A = this chain, B = another copy of it.
Amino acid sequence: MYRLTNSFPYLLNRVGVQMGELFSRRIAGYGVTLPMYRVMAALWEAGDQRLGDLAAMTTIEISTLSRLVGEMKRRGLVTRARLKDNGRTVAINLTPKGRSLVEELIPIAIRFEEVAVRDFPPKNISDLKTILAEIYESLKSLEPEIEEANKARKAAKSKA
């Protein structure tokens, strides 16, 4: 018998939402939101990102991210500039201010993660991380059947 509360997406989402919520509250005093932190931490790891890449990296929808980066630029946390050699794209980077801020926040993120995983052997956690990364990749294989299902429905509708 299926139970939502034992399903993988449910368990996943619940932890994700909750950790996000707690972390948001923890960093609110620094004047940044969770999505802002994610952007800064992504840039800290790999700077000079284009908007689209940053969107893929952070799983933030691109138009949302465009505006978010705009706000962060206004606040002096990041730079954004069209490239000389390819004016379609834009390069986003941390400012020194953004860098020093994210370097204050990262230890808090590390602390949160430690608390989350402390009851489990490191091996389990690293396995878990590997599984999560691989599942992410394997989700791509669902794309075709989504299209197909929707196409089928559409066809049925236009016939009706």
Interface residues, chain A, with chain B CB atoms under 8 Å away: 2-20, 22-23, 25-26, 28-29, 38, 41-42, 44-45, 57, 59, 106, 109-110, 112-113, 115-120, 124-125, 127-129, 131-136, 138-139, 141-143, 145-146, 149-150, 153-154
Residues A45 and B5 in contact, CB atoms below 8 Å apart: yes
Closest 7 CB pairs of A and B: A4-B41, A11-B132, A29-B153, A17-B59, A16-B16, A13-B16, A12-B16
List, sorted by A's number, 26 A–B pairs whose CB atoms are closer than 8 Å.
A2-B106, A2-B110, A4-B38, A5-B45, A5-B57, A7-B113, A8-B128, A8-B129, A9-B20, A9-B23, A9-B113, A10-B38, A11-B133, A12-B16, A13-B59, A18-B139, A22-B142, A22-B143, A22-B146, A25-B150, A26-B142, A26-B149, A116-B138, A117-B135, A119-B134, A120-B131
A112 to B29, CA, bound (A): 39
Assess the B136–A14 pair: CB atoms within 8 A.
Answer: yes
Distance in Å: Cβ of A102 to nearest Cβ of chain B: 10
| Majority DSSP secondary structure for residues of A touching B | helix
Contacts of A18 in B (CB 8 A): 59, 136, 139
Q: A17-B59, A19-B139, A26-B149 given as contacts; is B9 within 8 A of A112 (CB)?
A: yes
Min CB distance A107 to B, Å, is 9
Q: A124-B127, A129-B6 are in contact. Are A119 and B138 (CB under 8 A)?
A: yes
Whether B132 lies near A7 (C-beta < 8 A) is no
